[in-house]
Chains A and B, each alone.
Chain A
Amino acid sequence: MTDFPAMATGRDGRFLNRTEMLGAVALALMIFVLLPLALDPFRLNLFGKYLTYAFVAVGLVLCWGAGGILSLGQGVFFGLGGYALAMFLKLEASTPEATKIQSTPGIPDFMDWNQITALPGWWQPFHSLSFTIVAVVAVPVIFAFIIGTAMFRRRVGGVYFSIITQAVAAILTILIIGQQGYTGGVNGITDLRTLKGWDIRTDEAKTILYFVNGALLFACLALAQFVRRSKLGRILIAMRDREDRVRFSGYDVASFKIFVFCLGAGFAAIGGAMFTLQVGFMSPSFVGIVPSIEMVIFCAVGGRNSILGAVWGTLLVNWAKTSFSESFPELWQFGMGALFIAVVLVFPDGLAGLWKQHVEPWIGRLKPRRPAPQPAE
């Protein structure tokens, strides 16, 4: 196993050391200054969409890079968060006036198409924005808690955990597609218009949402850094490398795993909700196995041990995907496959590893030389 960067263990007592500070500032400049200045509203919205996947990738750094548990079902949590918000927005868009041509006005259009005449009970609470905001995070986290508890208490781990989370992603996708009348089926929940009367489809709204998204992402990054630096983060790494020893030392390994899995799920859910807001729909194509594995590769390309790397990886892969697949769809598919293989075989630490090997020494040379600190002994 590769070493988790020593700086992450926080032995120097600061929240961020100098290099991490530099990285965070560079990312903030990129997201809040450079991209908004350089891109037109359409492209900016596109990057906003990429950034919603970065929430998932950061959660994966904690679960997979630090904790050693690889979830192939992060799309489930992304989707649950996204669907929760989409349900609220859909109800708001389905006022009796807006839907008066339907046979039963006042319910979402896809329900009307599927001969459902009354709003199902479990949709009712989503009339309330405050309930929805709680549900966006709570539903996926509770779901993750149930899966995590059932699995980690029984000491299911490693490969088996990955396969089962994958099956969960498959189950949820089939369920959403099959229950068309309640979920919008394969099209998903579309035609979302306003958030508490604020039109989310205008360029201005999309730009504002982009900045909100960026701010939320930095909040999540800060939380992730806090976890990594804390004692919990060190236990996670110890668990990843030698689970038995941690267990024999008296730690309740399962609880730590459940916690970090729930945290990753919560991050993914926030990303999903922001995705719904910025893109204006939510569909099962973001829930299933293929998107879930793609999210893992965003994290792997960025570097599974680096939370900032995960954001860069997500941006880079998605940007490359959009620009290549527009002009060379065939080449892109080959390129994506080659990228998976290359990351695993050649760059297990992803972009962050390249950064540490090549850029940091160079930055180190720029810094004014100070006498090397003497060892304490």
Chain B
Amino acid sequence: MARRTPLNEAHRRLGGRMVDFVGWDMPVQYSSVITEHEAVRNAVGLFDVSHMGEIEFTGPGALETANKLITNDLSRCADGQAVYAGLLNEQGCFVDDVVAYRFSPERILVVVNASNKDKDFAWMQSHAEGVKPVDRSDDYAQIAVQGPKAVGLVQRLTPVDVSKVGTYRFTEGQVAGVQCIISRTGYTGEDGFELYCAPGEAEKLWEALLKEGQQDGVKPCGLGARDSLRTEMKYALYGNDIDDQHTALEAGLGWICKLDKAGGFIGRDVLAKQKAEGVKRKLVGFELTGAGIPRHGYPILKDGQRVGEVTSGTMGPSVKKPIGIGYVPAELAAEGSTFDVEIRGRPVSAVVVKTPFWKKS
């Protein structure tokens, strides 16, 4: 039976259409994907992301241990700062993408994808030199509050001055009387917070956000809107756009890989070599100029030959165009390059465009 987050009953009461998502019973939508997507772009939306995993390193050496496992550099962060990073294998390809939180040099929390949690934990256990990781996933529920009205909504529920929490910074405090990690992060392209709390308090927090957010037009949002929002930003989804077959540089995520950091990281040398030699394939964003919608797994063709593959695609609700992400040979990666996407046996023309697909006006 699929696992349930502490908000499962709340989703059902709200009429969420529940689906099995990597072994979790999660809402794909409540009203409509497009309505929820637009709520996040124009007002505020709530996402239950409690299925994400949390792995903690605590004690002397926590920072050094965790920092060697991730590609980004926590030693350059202040306490109260978070970074987006990769966990890479020896080939420079992704074990997962994560957000690492630096509470102090003796407490680092790494948030991982639900689908990869057990794999990541085992990988960290075997590669951690020093402090051993602890799986804290059952100790945290997580609610993402995203959209232009997110800051105002959270502010009305907390004595903490959240306007002072900068992007990719976090603090701790009560929201609606619930003790939370209040993190100015998210994966929608909008401003907002990710609130971590004890599972037993998640429903109280969720209900308070829904009630207080009525005046903002808050909507509970499902996995469908989460996917279309992140696709419009060309944010990578593990298992689609990034995986253990493509390197971080091929994925365009060289910026989260600090090749020069002290102590290095697993996969670093492959990336350094690849950086010097140039990558042979790249993850690009494209628009379809013909009719159709690109989907994960569709072939990318050039002159009738298969040269790549679509990794994500959708009809972008905000950009109002069929957009996609996919790997193509480096010579086809420049903006304006054209190729075809094979949709049900038919080549449909596409052009590489600048990303993110969607920008705030």
Is the A/B pair a real complex?
Answer: no
User: B-side interface residues toward A, CB under 8 Å?
Assistant: none
Q: What residues of chain A have their CB less than 8 Å away from a CB belonging to chain B?
A: none
